[in-house]
Structure 1
Amino acid sequence: MELLEAFDRSYEAFDQRVLRVEDEQWTAGTPCTEWTVRDVVNHVVSEHLWAPWLLRGATLAEVGDRFDGDVLGGDPKGAWARAAAASRPAFHRPAALSGTVNTSGGPSPADAYAWQMTLDLAVHGWDVARGIGADEHMDQELARTLLERFGSQIPQWQGSGLFGPSVDVPGSASARDRLLALLGRRP
């Protein structure tokens, strides 16, 4: 699966789950044990507020702290819609993925950044679904693609604080379940 197709599938799944969150579900727990549904969505919205800036070549200093803290305000769904309205086209802009972006880990190829954002959308979409008790389906082709791309990298990220330790799943587990288990989730 090509990058932008994977990004779009992850985006669509995350978007649909955010739209399903009921008012009383924003405080529900998620597989990210320190985060509520609102916290997960706030994280993703913040990342997508950063994306257009980074894809245009902005430095971290230029962006500053404008996307720190609560970026959802009183309208979490609207905040997501506004962030996505700028972020999604930024990823699709001609040549946007051929350059370098500045991240907290240093300069990174834009396509690698886009793959990481795709993984973030896919996994946090699942987190939101689990948190609100919605359908936890993940496109199997997308899950296979992400597992192939990140499966060998994820163990190197253990201990970074980005996710919990991997969990065991049966050898017959689906690509989705293997991906989620590598990222510390219990599918």
Structure 2
Amino acid sequence: MIDIREAHDRALHGFGTRVHAIRDDQWDDPTPCTNWDVRTLVNHMVTENLWVPELLGGRTIAEVGSALDGDLLGDEPVKAFDASAIEATEAVRQEGVLDRTAHLSFGDVPAAEYLSQLFADALIHSWDLARAIGVSDRLDPELVEQCARWFADSEDSYRGAGVIGPRVKPPPGADAQAKLLGAFGRACA
């Protein structure tokens, strides 16, 4: 298994590579995420990134309040993503970060679990963004394997909370990526 901090960094880098491939005319294009266009998807990831230093720093959602609500992309969405990714990566790399607790909306979790959630979000949304903008949607096989192992124990709770859609059955002979995406409710065909 890859250290969760490295897995997060690699998944976030994969998403960032795709952000840099977005053409100016693609920001309003639809994504596989229901009701989200490219801009909304990237804004979601920027928001997630900006929560990382707050939550790994011990703050609660109530303490942060609405500071991270709304459009955080402004007129330079790629720069906004890059800046947020730097902040998240720096927070994840802090010494002792895995000994911390993150105060999430549904309760307190160990930092490693929070990072697993962030890692999975960045990885799956990399595929979503790639599909939306027409670039390679191949994900890092090591990250796919790690995410699948973690998600096997989390899938039911994610689905029960309404965070993901119904499971999509992959076609016969599907590879690990298609199986993982199906578990997250994505059809790869």
Question: 1:180 is paired with a residue of what secondary structure?
Answer: helix
Counterpart position of 1:142: 143
- AA partner of residue 26 (structure 2): Q
Counterpart position of 1:46: 47
Tell me how large the CA RMSD over aligned residues is.
1.1
Counterpart position of 1:74: 75
Deviations 1:161-182 (CA, angstroms, capped at 9, x unpaired): 3221110013532211111111
Could you tell me how far 1:160 is from its partner in structure 2? 2.3
- AA partner of residue 158 (structure 1): R
Counterpart position of 1:34: 35
- The answer as to 2:92 corresponding to 1:91 is yes
Counterpart position of 1:116: 117
- The answer as to 2:134 corresponding to 1:157 is no
Runs of 4+ with deviation above 3 angstroms:
none
Question: 1:136 is paired with a residue of what secondary structure?
Answer: coil
Question: 2:18 is paired with a residue of what secondary structure?
Answer: helix
Deviations 1:2-46 (CA, angstroms, capped at 9, x unpaired): 212211210110010001101111111111021001111111100
Show structure 1 runs of 5+ residues with no match.
Answer: none
Q: TM-score, normalised by structure 2?
A: 0.95
| 8 Å contact from structure 1 (residues 32, 163) kept in 2 | no
- Rounded to whole Å, the distance in 1 between the matches of 2:42 and 2:8 is 17
Show structure 2 runs of 5+ residues with no match.
Answer: none
- Rounded to whole Å, the distance in 2 between the matches of 1:87 and 1:73 is 19
Aligned length: 187
- Rounded to whole Å, the distance in 1 between the matches of 2:178 and 2:43 is 25
Deviations 1:80-111 (CA, angstroms, capped at 9, x unpaired): 11111111010010111211011111111111
Counterpart position of 1:13: 14
Structure 1 residues 98-107 or 155-164, which shifts more? 155-164
- AA partner of residue 102 (structure 2): V
- Rounded to whole Å, the distance in 2 between the matches of 1:11 and 1:170 is 28
- AA partner of residue 43 (structure 1): H
- Rounded to whole Å, the distance in 2 between the matches of 1:133 and 1:25 is 10
- AA partner of residue 63 (structure 1): V
Counterpart position of 2:106: 105
